[in-house]
Amino acid sequence: MLVALILPNVLSADERPTVLVMGDSLSAAYNIERDAGWVTLLEERLGDDAEVINASISGETTSGGAQRFPELLRQHSPALVLLELGGNDGLRGLSPQQMQANLAQMIEQSQAAGAKVLLLGIDIPPNYGQAYRDAFKRVFTRLADTYDVPLVPFLLEGVALDDDLMQDDDIHPTADAQPMILENVWPALAPMLKGHASHLAAD
């Protein structure tokens, strides 16, 4: 009888929400142990309350992500999608308009499938020119407004300008920076998880 009382409070694998992280090297634990990456730290924090799928690939652009995304959406049926793409578009000087179109496509596909979207913004170095940089950053705010999705304005806030937290390439964060990156994401993500992850109800 005791077992019968306990079991209803335990989420089975089928009942747990899936969180799909669609990103590039910033979410793929580039040049550090994968277990040290912020996505793995998120998985550890959520524990049995959610399944985290990290579909991030180093070097990924929004175009590559848009091509892979429909199959990932079909395969995993996520409740939440964390969209962290665009950095490589910026570093390659690709069109902000095309970047916006690719991200918009993934947001629309997510929402059509019933998934919530959290947009993770990124910045590019000043040497790309202020006009391009401004156009690049506006993509994220414009998408957040258009599709009414929450936005983390800058994933590497408090990290990118700290030499001790960046690798020698000045683009990728170190293992020590990963907990800070998770804390940048968490305030926006936690409210989206309420109702899914039981231990977050009081957060």
Tens of pLDDT along 17-59?
999 999 999 999 999 999 999 999 999 999 999 999 999 999 9
Dist CA 85 CA 100 (whole Å): 10
Dist CA 46 CA 162 (whole Å): 28
pTM of the model: 0.90
Report if residue 137 sits inside a domain: yes
Query: Which residues, other chains included, contact 80 with Cβ-Cβ below 8 Å and sequence gap of 6+?
Result: 17, 18, 19, 20, 115, 116, 117, 118, 189, 192, 193, 196
Report if residue 128 sits inside a domain: yes
Q: Which of 27, 110, 172, 196 is an active site residue?
A: 172
* Residue 172 annotated to the active site: yes
Tens of pLDDT along 171-185?
999 999 999 999 999
CB 35 within 8 A of CB 98: no
* Residue 76 annotated to the active site: no
Please determine, for residue 1, whether its predicted confidence score (pLDDT) is greater than 90. Answer: no
Dist CA 115 CA 49 (whole Å): 17
Dist CA 29 CA 24 (whole Å): 9
Q: What is the DSSP letter of 16?
A: S
pLDDT band at 10 (very low <50, low <70, confident <90, very high): very low
What's 127's domain CATH number?
A: 3.40.50.1110
Report if residue 9 sits inside a domain: no
Tens of pLDDT along 15-28?
899 999 999 999 99
Report if residue 135 sits inside a domain: yes
Characterize the bridge pairing of strands 18-23 and 151-152.
Answer: unpaired
H-assigned helices in the chain:
2-6, 38-46, 62-76, 87-91, 96-112, 130-147, 178-193
Query: Which residues, other chains included, contact 184 with Cβ-Cβ below 8 Å and sequence gap of 6+?
Result: 152, 154, 155, 156, 157, 158, 159
Report if residue 140 sits inside a domain: yes
* Residue 169 annotated to the active site: yes
SS3 24: coil
Report if residue 27 sits inside a domain: yes
Per residue, the 3-state secondary structure of 135-154, as one string, reads: HHHHHHHHHHHHHCCCEECC
Q: Which of 148, 164, 168, 169 is an active site residue?
A: 169
Query: What pLDDT score does 15 carry?
Result: 80
In sequence order, the β-bridge partners of residue 22 are 83
Report if residue 202 sits inside a domain: no
Domain count, the chain: 1
Report if residue 98 sits inside a domain: yes
Q: Which of 24, 25, 56, 123 is an active site residue?
A: 25
Tens of pLDDT along 147-201?
999 999 999 999 999 999 999 999 999 999 999 999 999 999 999 998 765 545 4
Cα of first residue to Cα of last residue in the chain, in angstroms, is: 32
What domain range includes position 112?
Answer: 15-194
